[in-house]
Amino acid sequence: MPVYLNIFNLIIKKDTISEKYIGGLEKFRKDYQIDNSEINQEDDELFALGAMNSDEFDIEDLILNGLSFDNNNQSFNDFTIIYRYDNSLSEVNWLQHNRVFAWHVDTSNISLALVNQISEMFMDKIEELIENGENPLKTIRL
């Protein structure tokens, strides 16, 4: 299920958090206030942390809690950072995005159809939906 992209986004597979993050999924949710955040998100396959600037992400803390970073190549596969208006800072083979939403490569075609529908909406339609209590610019859940 796709997550909405903020300006900068640090995206991690939930499987990676479950397998590597000290304390697992529940500790990660608590550490990053996933349940109470307007910006940090969770879907069935991903966690997405949002920020205005990439230097707001505490990469060192993620590494201290078990995620991997390759110092030799200055790259990582456990997570990626996406700048909404440009390319990912590190490409990964498990994620796709269209600058509005990001999704795991195994996301269903039904979810992807919603991504396309919402991504092609004009702002007046989005505003109308929001005014009527339906925010299309959030994690897509079926």
pLDDT confidence of residue 56: 94
* Residue type present at position 46: L
Measuring CA to CA, how many Å separate 60 from each of 3, 29, 69?
24, 17, 9
Domain ranges of the chain: 3-131
| Residue 125 clears pLDDT 90, i.e. is over it | yes
On whether the pTM is more than 0.95, the answer is: no
Give me the percent of the chain exceeding a pLDDT of 70: 94
- CA–CA distance, 49 with 25 (Å, rounded to integer): 14
Task: Say how far residue 52 (Cα) sits from the centre of its chain.
Answer: 14
The average pLDDT across 119-140 equals 92
90 CB-near residues (< 8 Å, 6+ apart): 75, 76, 77, 80, 81
> pLDDT tens across 40-64, in order?
999 999 999 999 998 999 999 999 9
| Residue 74 clears pLDDT 70, i.e. is over it | no
Q: Kindly state the tokens that stand for 60.
A: 């060192």
76 CB-near residues (< 8 Å, 6+ apart): 67, 68, 69, 70, 90
| Residue 105 clears pLDDT 80, i.e. is over it | yes
